[in-house]
Structure 1
Amino acid sequence: MTKRATLADIARKVGVSESTVSRALAGSELISDDTRLRIARVAEQLGYQLPVLARSVRGAKTQVVAHLTDTPTLEFHARLAQGLHEAALRHNHLLVTHPSPPDGFREEQYLQILSALAPVGVVATPTTSNLSLIQTLAQKFPLVTLDRDVEVGLHAVLLDNKQAMRQGIEHLVELGHTRIALLVGKDPMTVSFERRQGYLDSLRALHLPIDPSLMVREEFTEAGGYRAARDLLDNRLECPFTAMIATNGDMTLGMMRAVKDVGLKVPQDLSIVGFDDSRYHLLMDPPLTVITQPAYEMGEHAANLLFDHLDHPEVHTARVRRMPASLVLRKSTSFVR
């Protein structure tokens, strides 16, 4: 009977301690990329299996689901992961979450590290920087995309982005706003296009004029939101508007900082609608009205979609689930004065 490889075997061959091997295989950022790669290669050569893969939970074999996520800077990402994690546990699987590899991290390095986990499947959030990696992962593992679509025939759980924007626009129009500024991402991912299109479709449906100067495309980051908002606010006399809406959580933070820096009062001078909810929005002055995504449920559905795919591998048709957004009304919007 062949002896199963151990952490000690890997440690001896690489020339590091067992604790270093353990941390590397768990994805610890305390271990350098070079060391992690060497350990992953040796683990694969020796046929090492993580202990969790052989552990029994209520009589069933526990296996790993890998979760490749965008940088988890906001509560939205944490709620996605929570929904995934709890759904995975109900299927006796362990979720291992890892951020997208940094710039300069070679794709083959990441694939070797991921392969050492031997996941039964992957749930991934596509970005412009990891799109090639995700397309490669889809050829190696059952894969579901979460939050963003790559339009290459993969299973996906997404927000209904057009419906989300429609809720925000209709709310502002009900308050008498007809000049509504938009902060939207400029990356080529479908989420940016769909939220911009939702804004345009809503204005057309409400028979309101479309002014291209009120739409600013920027990075989907706090800094991008700040730049976009300042561009609009600094030109407000030449191109007036009474309300502003952001299209992701990071941009919302930048937008609020810009409004504060120019000294405008919300909602007296300007009505504001943010995107994605956070407990910190309740602490803002005034508390922020937001379009919120059902993050936990999106993560939960992504996990269930993956397990359904694993149970029925003969079904090749991609399934896409779009989840509705909700509008949380607080104090940052008011009737036009």
Structure 2
Amino acid sequence: MKFETIGKSKQFYDFLKNEILSDDYKPGDKFPSIRELSSKYGISVITVNSVISNLVTEGLLHVVQGKGTFVSEKKNSAKNKKIIGVILFDFSLENNIEATMFNSIQGNLKDNYYVIPYNSYDKLDLFYKGIKGFSELGVDGMILTPPSTEDYDADTVKSLITRDIPVVFINRRVPGIKADFLEMDFDDCVYKAMKHLLDKNKRSIAMVKSNSNTISEAMVRGYKRALNKGGISFDDKFIIEWNENFGKVEKALEGLIGKIDGLVASDYFIYRLRRIIYASGKKVPSDLSIVGINDTAYSRFMNPPLTVLPFTAKQIGEEAIKLIIGKLENKITGEISRSFKTELIIREST
């Protein structure tokens, strides 16, 4: 068994936990020593010791002084638990969205369920690897956030999900796969951002699109809808493309900054574009009003604080795990698709 460098401790913990819950071990069986495990799997003694300590704390193992580590009686009750695999793509401190969503998933678990998280870092190969790993582990359901670039192959994803289990996709669908789908309503989100700026008498409003086609299309719909209701013609020069080249985004905003009085973008983009905003000499919000989307930690770093439309992470996490459990308990049938609307939080940037 090979463990990746990133997240090795968590991978090894999940592996050992699965071993304990397998039929190879019975309550009272002696478990390999820390040095034996370190030698067998090429994991440092420090990491193995930490993982074993966690398994002891969880009650799956117990230590008998002078004799070693043994499988606990709790193994029998834990073995009957349902396992839900969760793939998110950014557990960084700055992006509290994923952490909020995962906490919501955990907070709505029933006693006979537990979840295993996996961070894909928004990389396609790691997304595939996560699904494959969950399938090999025999999870009972999956909650998946596909990569934002949407360059995944549906047949590959389908081949990796080897059992008929409930699956929930978040924000992006994978075509041809039987699954539920949950998303934030980015059409409504951008419409609310635009309406707020239009109500502030802003008329030349730029927007930075997402690198996700699905989300970008919804954002543009909301943008156009608000302009149409305000009696303003759509001009695509105010739409800034994001295609993994941030230099182009910066260049586009530099070319527009003198012509706009409003800006809508993710708070991450706004944070990275702050140099251009400050260098323009425009005062926020009198000369340039700004609305951020997501409300991650980046919005707290801005001066003045950003008016935002928070990502509906808590609601989506709660609904996702309820759908999985409902399907496993045969209380929910059919494919479910739901959008969640967010509400504006007004701060000093508008």
Give the match for residue 94 of structure 1: 114
* Alpha carbons of structure 1 residues 197 and 242: separation in structure 2 relative to 1, 3 Å: same
Query: Helix, strand or coil for the counterpart of 2:181?
Result: strand
Looking at structure 1, the residues matched to 39 and 120 of structure 2 have their Cα atoms a distance apart, in angstroms, of 28
Q: Return the TM-score normalized by structure 2.
A: 0.72
Percent sequence identity is: 20
Cα deviation code 1:249-308 (max 9, x no counterpart): 432322334323444331132111111113553453111101112211110111101111
Q: Deviations over 1:9-33 (max 9, x none)?
A: 9x98996249679x79x99xxxxxx
SS in 1 for 2:118: strand
The count of residues paired between Structure 1 and Structure 2 equals 296
Does structure 1 residue 260 correspond to structure 2 residue 281?
A: no
Counterpart-to-counterpart distance in 2, 1:126 and 1:264: 38
1:243 to 262, 285, 293: 262
Bigger shift: residues 61-70 or 171-180:
61-70
Q: CA 1:314/1:202 → structure 2, altered by over 3 Å: closer, same or farther?
A: closer
Aligned counterpart, 1:276 = 294
1:120 paired residue among 140, 156, 163: 140
Change (3 A) 1:115 1:216: same
One-letter identity of the residue aligned with 2:195: E
Q: For the Cα contact (< 8 Å) 1:144–1:302, is it kept in 2?
A: yes
Deviates more, 1:151-160 or 1:322-331: 151-160
For residues 288 and 111 of structure 2, the distance between their equivalents in structure 1, rounded to whole angstroms, comes to 48
Does 1:161 find its partner at 2:161?
A: no
User: Which of 75, 93, 100 is the matching residue for 1:79?
Assistant: 100
State the partner residue of 1:183.
208
Partners of 2:84 and 2:224 lie apart in 1 by 38
Q: How far, CA to CA, are the matches of 2:124 and 2:193 in structure 1?
A: 38
Deviation at 1:63, TM superposition (A): 2.5
| Residue 198 in structure 1 maps to residue 222 in structure 2 | yes
SS of 2:187's partner is helix
In the other structure, the counterpart of 2:326 is: 308
Change in CA separation of 1:332 and 1:227 when aligned onto 2, cut-off 3 Å: farther
- More displaced 10-residue stretch of structure 1: 108-117 or 322-331: 108-117
Would you say the 8 A contact 2:98–2:313 is kept in 1? yes
Paired AA for residue 164 in structure 1: C
Given residue 212 of structure 1, which amino acid in structure 2 is its aligned partner?
D
Residue 16 of structure 1 aligns to a residue whose secondary structure is helix
Gaps of 5+ in 2: 1-21, 26-30, 52-70
CA distance in 2, matches of 1:144, 1:218: 27
C-alpha distance 178-254 of structure 1, shift in aligned 2 (>3 A): same
Asked if the contact 2:268/2:299 (under 8 Å) is kept, the reply is: no
Q: Give, in whole Å, the separation in 1 of the partners of 2:72 and 2:237.
A: 57
Kindly indicate whether the alpha-carbon contact (under 8 Å) linking 2:181 and 2:338 is maintained by their aligned counterparts in 1.
yes
Name the SS of the counterpart of 2:316 in structure 1. Answer: helix
Provide Cα deviations, 1:65-119, integer angstroms capped at 9, x if missing partner. 100112233111111111111112x353111111127858488755553234321
Supply the RMSD in Å over aligned alpha carbons.
3.7
> In structure 2, do the counterparts of structure 1 residues 108 and 208 end up closer, same or farther at CA, with 3 Å as the change threshold?
closer
SS for the counterpart of 1:56 is helix
CA distance in 2, matches of 1:106, 1:186: 18
